[in-house]
Amino acid sequence: MTVSTDRPAYTLMIADMASEERPRERLIHYGPAALANRELLAILLRTGVQGRSVLELADQMLRHYNGLRGLSNVTINDLTANIHGLGPAKSAQLLAALELGRRMASLQPADRPQVKNPADAARLLQNDMSYFQQEHLRVLLLNQKNYVINDWRKSLYKGSLNSSVVRVAEVFREAIRSNAAAILVAHNHPSGDPTPSPEDIRVTRDLRRAGELLDIELLDHIIIGVQSFVSMKERGLGF
């Protein structure tokens, strides 16, 4: 069955949207985690089809296959037969991206990134955290050999961070559940200057003390700036 191409009389095309609302520009400014599934699909598809914007095309696919889970099990023939205007090239791009995500999810700890020094952590985090317009705090969970065992792209906190906002129990909750040997905390300075503030030192000290009680080491607290970072541990701040 081919899905109907009926559409509203007026469709807002990507070119009609304000630049800061377009999916690609939103990803550049805020990182992929800030985008809805339809926006990520739209970036992969790149263009719509005749009479249908790329965002409408993404919506149609998500509805037809009941979300990403259903979409992850389709074939190229299924896509081209059921989504009007979708050809083999776009279908192949989409399935390649979904397969990469599936392989990432199935990685064993030994295949995951290893944090041997502060620069290793910064390389994982800087690409998107450098450009956030507000502060984000992320927690890397590490095993005994310092391999990352969680999704390091998810932010635990967003907004102005201080010792009254950052709750120690929340920072360590997943580490306890995952039986992590250590954690590494990172947050960005939207100004681009990674110089630690007195509040950054207080937060670090609180987390280090909690880690000692829980027997989960705070390996470091990295502050991300634009093309720069600071290791709180290397500077002996809060450690």
Distances (CA, A) of 122 to 16, 68, 139, 188: 37, 30, 12, 11
pLDDT per position as a tens digit, 141-189: 999 999 998 888 889 988 877 766 788 899 999 999 888 999 999 999 9
Is 2's pLDDT higher than 50? no
Q: Which of 114, 166, 142 is nearest to 219 (CA)?
A: 142
pLDDT classification of 6: cutoffs 50, 70, 90:
very low
Per-domain residue ranges of the chain: 14-105, 110-231
pLDDT of residue 70: 83
The label of the residue with tokens 């994982």 reads 124
Put simply, whether the predicted model's pTM sits higher than 0.75 gets the answer no
Q: What is the rounded average pLDDT for all residues in the chain?
A: 84
pLDDT classification of 135: cutoffs 50, 70, 90:
very high
pLDDT of residue 5: 40
Ramachandran region, residue 161 (left: φ > 0; alpha: ψ -120 to 50; beta: rest) = beta
User: Class for domain 14-105, per CATH?
Assistant: mainly alpha
pLDDT of residue 106: 60
Cα–Cα distance between 148 and 133 in angstroms, integer?
26
pLDDT of residue 27: 84
**202 or 151, greater pLDDT:** 202
Q: What architecture (CATH level 2) is domain 110-231?
A: 3-Layer(aba) Sandwich (3.40)
pLDDT per position as a tens digit, 39-85: 898 888 888 777 778 898 889 889 999 888 788 788 999 888 988 88
The answer to whether 92 and 76 are in contact (CB under 8 A) is yes
List the 136-142 sheet strands across, edge first: 155-158, 136-142, 182-188, 217-225, 228-231
Q: Which of 11-15, 49-53, 112-116, 171-175 has the least mean pLDDT?
A: 11-15
pLDDT of residue 7: 42
CB atoms within 10 A of CB 157: 18
Is 216's pLDDT higher than 60? yes
